[in-house]
Amino acid sequence: MEIKLLSKSSEETRLIGKVLAKYLKPGDLVLFYGDLGAGKTTLIQGISEGLDVDPDTYVTSPTFAILNIYEGKYPIYHIDLYRLEGHELEELGIWEYLSSGILLIEWADRLLEIPTKDFLEIQMRHLDTFVREITLTGYGQWSELLRVLDADEELKKLE
């Protein structure tokens, strides 16, 4: 199952993340793809807001830290693989986080393998200065969850 959305502003991108957060639970894996500046971190800010992360928490891409942890309704593990190579990823032990929270991975194209059949891919791309195309592709249980998400009234308002 696949959903294509258009976001015409960073506020709309955050809203999409906030709506998506309603469907996330511990053990979920979300993989983010897209060029620099495509809006991956902005979408994650919306997810964090939707999962009740303290508004004073600075949600930013952990490019140099590699991992940020946000406490909200559930623990969120935000990983950025931009600076890493395949062999370095194996040493991180990132899959251990799946058992205790939601795992959000930016630059997922650097992953050598995905240890689960249930995950959500989010591809983001620039259409122009402000407009982003956001494609959500669900695998396993996410295929059905995307059908529910596609009917969400808050997302309908963006059309």
For residue 88, what pLDDT is reported? 66
User: Do the domain assignments include residue 89?
Assistant: yes
User: Do the domain assignments include residue 11?
Assistant: no
Cα Rg of the chain (Å, integer): 15
* pTM score: 0.91
Q: Which two tokens stand for residue 102?
A: 């939601």
Name the pLDDT band for 61 (thresholds 50, 70, 90): confident
* b/e code 22-41 from CB counts within 10 Å (16+ = b): eebeebbbbbbbbeeebbbb
Query: 27 or 36, which is more confident?
Result: 27
User: Do the domain assignments include residue 4?
Assistant: no
Burial of 105 (0-12, 13-18, 19+ CB in 10 A): buried
> Whole-number mean pLDDT of the chain?
88
User: Do the domain assignments include residue 51?
Assistant: yes
User: Do the domain assignments include residue 66?
Assistant: yes
User: Do the domain assignments include residue 131?
Assistant: yes
Instruction: Write out the residue range of the structural domain in which residue 126 sits.
Output: 19-33+42-93+103-138+150-159
For residue range 71-91, what is the model confidence (pLDDT) as tens digits?
999 999 999 888 776 656 666
Work out how many domains the chain is built from and give that number: 1
User: Do the domain assignments include residue 2?
Assistant: no
For residue 16, what pLDDT is reported? 94
Domain containing 157 — which CATH number? 3.40.50.300
Percentage above 70 pLDDT, the chain: 94
User: Do the domain assignments include residue 158?
Assistant: yes
Q: Is the pLDDT of residue 65 over 80?
A: no
CA distances (Å), origin 126, targets 1, 6, 34, 36, 152: 22, 10, 9, 10, 24
Name the pLDDT band for 92 (thresholds 50, 70, 90): confident
